[in-house]
Structure formats: C-alpha cells, structure tokens
Amino acid sequence: MTPSRRRRWRRRAAAVVVAGGLLGPLAGTAPAQAAPWQGSATATAPVSTARWGSGLTLVAGAGSVAADRTSYSLSTTVATQAGYVDLANTGTVPATLSLDVAIGAVVGGAPATVCSVAWDTTADTCAGTTTTVTLTALVGRTAGSYTSPGLVAAGDAVHLRVKLGGVVSGVTVTATTVVPRPAADRTLG
C-alpha cells in the first residue's frame, strides 16, 4: 500500500467510528455494558442410596423360611412333599440372584427346579422354561447351586420348586445376591 492509500483508509475508518458513536444514541440504542451474570434457575433431584439384597418367600407347599429370609428348609420321613419358594430381589437395583441347594437323604432325593415364571402350585406345572438345579452327590448329602442367567429386576423373583422324597431326608436352600458393577466403577465394597 502506498502512503496515500493508507491515509484514505484511516480517514474512512475514523469516519465510520465517529458516525457510529453519533448515530447510535440517535437510534435509541444504549451503549454496550458488561453485566454480571445472575443465575436464577435451580436444579434439584432426589438422592437415594442403592440397596441390594434378596429374600426367600414360601409361596405354597411344605417347609419353612427362616425369619431373616436367607434360608428355606424342608424335611420328610417317608412321604413325597413339594415346596414352592420365590427368591426375590429385595434391592433397588437389578442383580444376579443365586441359591445353593443342599439335600441330605438316606434313600431318595429331591429335584430342585427353577421356573422362568411363577409355578402353578395346584397343578405342579410351569408355563415357562424350567431349569433343573444340577446336584452333585457327596458323602451323606447332595448339593448344587443355581445362578440367574441374567439380571433380575428389583422386585422380581426366581421361582423354585423343591420336590422331596425318600426315607429321612431334608433340603436346605440358601440365597445370595450379587450386584454387578459397571466397568468404570472404582468404588470399594
């Protein structure tokens, strides 16, 4: 740029600034000012602690559930008996439910069967899918365990039927709960 062009450009720029300063108030616009930000919105949310747990409930049939709902027992001397027990997720988060079955029998045994829906206790049938709890024979007793194949929603249950038969036999079902943690969870416990 030549010096004369620079001067013309500077004059034009100065004229635009002066015109803006004079015409702005005439147009009714206020000069720009810095205003401090004042937040007026608030956000609130209820906070609750996640709980996990499980509990056994006797639905129908023989046997009894312990007061703390962690175990169920059924015994018989000669007759065949059945007990229908639900292992419910009593927590507030989805969890994997697990139960251990221990059977002691002199003669006979007890098939423990899980149903994907509630058992029809009057007809002794399952309208859903059944899974037999695999039992392994040990000296003087038979034991096995079952773990739900997926997460059980809070309030839902695993439905178990224990059919006990034989001479002097008994069964105990014990419940446990496993809550999966997300991959990024770094909390202790």
99, 104, 107, 108: CA torsion to nearest 10: -10
Confidence of residue 104 (pLDDT cuts 50, 70, 90): confident
DSSP classification of residue 77: S
The pLDDT value given to residue 40: 73
pLDDT tens digit sequence for 31-42: 566 667 676 777
**Worst-scoring range by mean pLDDT, 6-10, 105-109, 122-126?**
105-109
pLDDT per position as a tens digit, 122-167: 999 999 999 988 888 777 677 889 999 888 999 999 999 988 776 6
The average pLDDT across 32-60 equals 77
β-pair partners for 175: 99
| Banded pLDDT at 183 (limits 50, 70, 90) | low
Q: What is the mean pLDDT of residues 71-91?
A: 86
Q: Which domains does the chain have, with CATH numbers?
A: 54-178 (2.60.120)
